[in-house]
């Protein structure tokens, strides 16, 4: 039956939230419309009242994941100051806890590999989210202002690569070695 506008808006958010988490856990194509609608306590038939296609939802889910991720970093910068916040961010990023809970972690580490082969609308969500994340990290960077952005990108590349590799190898010892080596940063 017809739902109230409020209920519909709530359902839409539930679907995006379920997709944001489930896609980070399983990958985009391995997340079926039926599964995620069930996770949002709905049936799959109603999906197309909210989204034009699965791709359109994927784009929104990824944008939402980046927004959540960047918001966490921003909150910490306000609380701890830029230097300590970045240190915290990297420290949390390169942990076994992050490795094993991709649904709550960095969308680039969880889905960046998929992104290369996704529809343009999905890649645009990656681009927008990545810009926001780089901007935040660059603003929190110390060192010569002209170099802050490049340093932020390099830092992000290192931790994304470390988590992708650690997850791919599936071996606790090799994975931990990769995390540990990436945690040590060479003296600037």
Q: Which residues bind DNA (CB under 7 A)?
A: 1-8, 11, 29, 31-35, 37, 42-50, 53-55
Task: Give 173: exposed, middle or buried? Use CB within 10 Å, 0-12, 13-18, 19+.
Answer: exposed
Q: How many CB atoms lie within 10 A of CB 23?
A: 25
Residue 116, helix vs strand vs coil: coil
Site stretch for a copy of itself (CB under 8 A), options 15-23, 38-46, 75-83, 150-158: 150-158
Question: Which residue, 123 or 158, has its beta carbon nearer to DNA?
Answer: 123
- Token readout for 67 is 């927004």
Question: Which residue, 86 or 115, has its beta carbon nearer to a copy of itself?
Answer: 115
Residue 155 to residue 134: CA distance in whole angstroms: 10
Question: Which residue, 71 or 171, has its beta carbon nearer to a copy of itself?
Answer: 171
User: Is residue 151 close enough to count as binding a copy of itself by CB under 8 A?
Assistant: yes
User: Is residue 164 close enough to count as binding a copy of itself by CB under 8 A?
Assistant: yes
User: Is residue 70 close enough to count as binding a copy of itself by CB under 8 A?
Assistant: no
Q: Are the CB atoms for 86 and 140 separated by under 8 Å?
A: yes
Nearest distance from C-beta of residue 79 to a copy of itself, angstroms: 27
User: Is residue 156 close enough to count as binding a copy of itself by CB under 8 A?
Assistant: yes
| Cβ-proximal residues to 40 (8 Å cutoff; 6+ apart), any chain | 11, 14, 15, 17, 18
């Amino acid at each position: 039956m017809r739902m109230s506008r409020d209920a519909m808006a709530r359902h839409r958010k539930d679907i995006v939230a379920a997709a944001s988490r489930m896609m980070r856990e399983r990958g985009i194509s391995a997340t079926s419309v039926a599964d995620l609608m069930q996770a949002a306590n709905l049936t799959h038939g109603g999906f197309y009242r909210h989204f034009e296609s699965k791709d359109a939802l994927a784009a929104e889910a990824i944008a939402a994941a980046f927004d959540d991720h960047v918001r966490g970093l921003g909150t910490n910068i306000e609380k701890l100051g830029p230097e300590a916040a970045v240190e915290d961010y990297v420290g949390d990023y390169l942990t076994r806890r992050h490795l094993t809970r991709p649904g709550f972690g960095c969308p680039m580490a969880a889905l960046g590999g998929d992104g290369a082969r996704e529809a343009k609308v999905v890649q645009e969500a990656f681009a927008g989210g990545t810009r926001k994340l780089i901007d935040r990290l660059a603003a929190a960077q110390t060192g010569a202002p002209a170099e802050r952005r490049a340093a932020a990108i390099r830092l992000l590349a290192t931790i994304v690569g470390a988590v992708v590799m650690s997850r791919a190898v599936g071996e606790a010892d090799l994975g931990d070695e990769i995390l540990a080596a990436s945690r040590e940063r060479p003296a600037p």
